Chains A and B, each alone.
Chain A
């Protein structure tokens, strides 16, 4: 009987058996479900599971289980930071922490003392993209980019922001933001509004002046980047990109990409994945050779999020100038994995990637999920974990 019902449902979804309802078009399926194999029960059971609404208490954190290369040490730096996502250096010795689906908050955590988070922005859905630059705090939601000026000394009472840009597309699919400020320009992305579709004008990385004017495209064909940074040696932009879902469990890989000609490169989406796989629907009439190849592959459904170039001096020389990449881990792959990886540009346009911090998965369950990084002034590095609402600190030596 169940099978008969399922068949009836499938028939309805496929557009048959709808005669009774012909006056109404079938509802759009959610963007994340586009391309999902409807005849496969395992796939049909997978849906995004949001983060748990309570932070993990300090004694239950996975910190003692993390493994790092010899000489490195990891400690719990802050707890009780529900939905901790983006990390940025703020004013007055504070670390700024953003959130995504759950908390709707931005926190400030004093670097000294007990690292207790204070909420400085509240009731702001998709409060994810944050930056601080010369006394101004930037926040990009899925709809708008806000700027608060002269915030030094008044994080407790930010007042009203200016809206410097209000033409972001909104919505829930790949609509959250990652911000960087480089050479007095604000960089951000707008992801594809779906798993796989024609993204129209979106699926790009942009930059603008710090007042919201002078919008330019920096890279096209970018499905969803949630992490990018500039190589301190060359000034080039490197970014992670999350590969399409539902193609298969093992393909395609997420990409690590390198922008060498800003505004002129197309990185393949939705036509070509990981530089080598034409999309079974959108790839017809195209060749992967038309698009910029990735510098490295980051694993299938890896959820490659934050990326930072290590500019500190504390870590050994081989890590100085390397990129750290947070692999948040798959939500729709049977076998889970997550880690902090490290990547070195090879000087020939590519990069070598290896795991750096592991221990986030046990018995195919997440113990923690890394999101973003901040290199502190002493050269140690913070890692946010939205699964636990915690922040870890990695140091080297003594």
Chain B
């Protein structure tokens, strides 16, 4: 736990340095990096800043250069849609979703930044989780699969739990992050962009939410 807190603090420190430094995330971008920004909006008009580079400078310290960091409480961004990403940046900027590091970042974002970062995140391919040290508990996986069917997770997240549009990819997300998120929706502490998750999990006991997190984090790819 102490390690997690230290990790979070170091992230915040890096963020503070990067976000509030006038040199960082700035305007002076090498033309070569512009090509790294794709997405329909960026293509229509060459951006003044490269969000690939800004992502590397600001976001990668916590989220990883490829969008999948090892920290179990930092969500995986690899494989998320642009629309999901922008809804969450919006909630941070509005002060509805709470997280010290992201609230600090959110306050600095212009509308163009929100589009730029989320379009860039939308280009990050999904990254499979590292192979587990021990095989998953078969009974717990079976219970998790039954719960996912019972509570209709696939209705919105898709049969492969890969999400789409405003719905996040949850397959392979960190278990700790999933568990905290589900519990947050359950208690009301975590707001959604829509009411979908709050109403979906309001009647599910916490123990079952934890089982769902276990299962979804280890969701077998390709099945």
CB of B86 within 8 A of CB of A52, answer yes
Cα-based distance from A29 to B152 in the complex (angstroms): 8
Residues from 51 to 97 in B contacting A, C-beta threshold 8 Å:
83, 86-87, 90, 94
Count of interface residues, chain B, beta-carbon cutoff 8 Å: 30
Contact of B114 among A48, A49, A50, A53 (CB under 8 A): A53
Q: Which residues of A contact B152 (CB under 8 A)?
A: 13, 27, 29
* Known pairs A12-B149, A27-B150; A5 contacts B159 (CB<8 A): yes
Asked if B200 is an interface residue, CB under 8 A from chain A, the answer is yes
CB of B166 within 8 A of CB of A49, answer yes
Asked if B154 is an interface residue, CB under 8 A from chain A, the answer is yes
Asked if A101 is an interface residue, CB under 8 A from chain B, the answer is yes
CB of B196 within 8 A of CB of A30, answer yes
Q: Which residues of A contact B137 (CB under 8 A)?
A: none
Contact of B223 among A1, A12, A172 (CB under 8 A): A1
A-B contact count (CB 8 A): 68
CB of B146 within 8 A of CB of A53, answer no
Asked if A8 is an interface residue, CB under 8 A from chain B, the answer is yes
Of all chain B residues, the one with the shortest Cβ separation from A44 is B155
> Which of B86, B167, B199, B203: most chain A Cβ within 10 A?
B199
Shortest C-beta distance, A376 to chain B (Å), equals 28
Of all chain A residues, the one with the shortest Cβ separation from B142 is A20
Asked if A276 is an interface residue, CB under 8 A from chain B, the answer is no
Is chain A's binding surface mostly helix, strand, loop or mixed? loop
CB of B165 within 8 A of CB of A33, answer no
Of all chain B residues, the one with the shortest Cβ separation from A54 is B111
Of all chain B residues, the one with the shortest Cβ separation from A29 is B152
CB of B223 within 8 A of CB of A54, answer no
Asked if B194 is an interface residue, CB under 8 A from chain A, the answer is yes
Shortest C-beta distance, A232 to chain B (Å), equals 38
Asked if B115 is an interface residue, CB under 8 A from chain A, the answer is yes
Q: Which residues of A contact B20 (CB under 8 A)?
A: none
Q: Which residues of B contact A21 (CB under 8 A)?
A: 146-147, 150
Asked if B156 is an interface residue, CB under 8 A from chain A, the answer is yes
Asked if A6 is an interface residue, CB under 8 A from chain B, the answer is yes
Q: Which residues of A contact B194 (CB under 8 A)?
A: 48, 50, 101, 172
Asked if B107 is an interface residue, CB under 8 A from chain A, the answer is no
Shortest C-beta distance, A315 to chain B (Å), equals 35
| Per-residue interface assignment for chain B, residues 188 to 211, with 1 indicating a CB less than 8 Å from any chain A CB and 0 otherwise | 000001111001100110000000
Of all chain A residues, the one with the shortest Cβ separation from B203 is A27
Cα-based distance from A48 to B204 in the complex (angstroms): 23
* Known pairs A30-B196, A172-B199; A53 contacts B86 (CB<8 A): yes
Of all chain B residues, the one with the shortest Cβ separation from A24 is B150
Q: Which residues of A contact B90 (CB under 8 A)?
A: 53-54, 102
Of all chain A residues, the one with the shortest Cβ separation from B196 is A30
Residues from 49 to 74 in A contacting B, C-beta threshold 8 Å:
49-50, 52-55, 57
Of all chain A residues, the one with the shortest Cβ separation from B223 is A1
CB of A30 within 8 A of CB of B86, answer no
Of all chain A residues, the one with the shortest Cβ separation from B204 is A27
Asked if B151 is an interface residue, CB under 8 A from chain A, the answer is yes
Of all chain A residues, the one with the shortest Cβ separation from B205 is A24
CB of B114 within 8 A of CB of A54, answer yes
Of all chain A residues, the one with the shortest Cβ separation from B201 is A27
* Known pairs A2-B159, A27-B203; A9 contacts B115 (CB<8 A): no
Q: Which residues of B contact A104 (CB under 8 A)?
A: 94
CB of B223 within 8 A of CB of A18, answer no
Q: Which residues of A contact B165 (CB under 8 A)?
A: 47, 49
> Which of B165, B195, B203, B223: most chain A Cβ within 10 A?
B195
Given contacts A21-B150, A30-B199, A49-B166, 20 further A-B contacts (CB under 8 A): A1-B223, A5-B223, A9-B149, A9-B154, A9-B159, A18-B150, A20-B146, A24-B150, A27-B150, A27-B203, A27-B204, A29-B152, A30-B200, A47-B165, A49-B165, A50-B193, A54-B90, A57-B111, A102-B90, A172-B199
B contact set with A: CB distance below 8 Å: 83, 86-87, 90, 94, 111, 114-115, 146-147, 149-152, 154-156, 159, 165-167, 193-196, 199-200, 203-204, 223
A-B contact pairs, 30 of them (CB 8 A): A2-B159, A5-B223, A6-B159, A9-B149, A12-B149, A13-B152, A20-B146, A21-B146, A21-B147, A26-B150, A27-B150, A27-B204, A29-B155, A33-B155, A44-B155, A47-B165, A49-B165, A49-B166, A50-B194, A52-B83, A52-B86, A53-B86, A53-B90, A53-B193, A54-B90, A54-B111, A54-B115, A57-B111, A102-B193, A172-B199
Q: Pick the 3 closest A-B CB pairs, nearest first.
A: A53-B90, A12-B149, A172-B195
A contact set with B: CB distance below 8 Å: 1-2, 5-6, 8-9, 12-13, 18, 20-21, 24, 26-27, 29-30, 33, 44, 47-50, 52-55, 57, 101-102, 104, 172
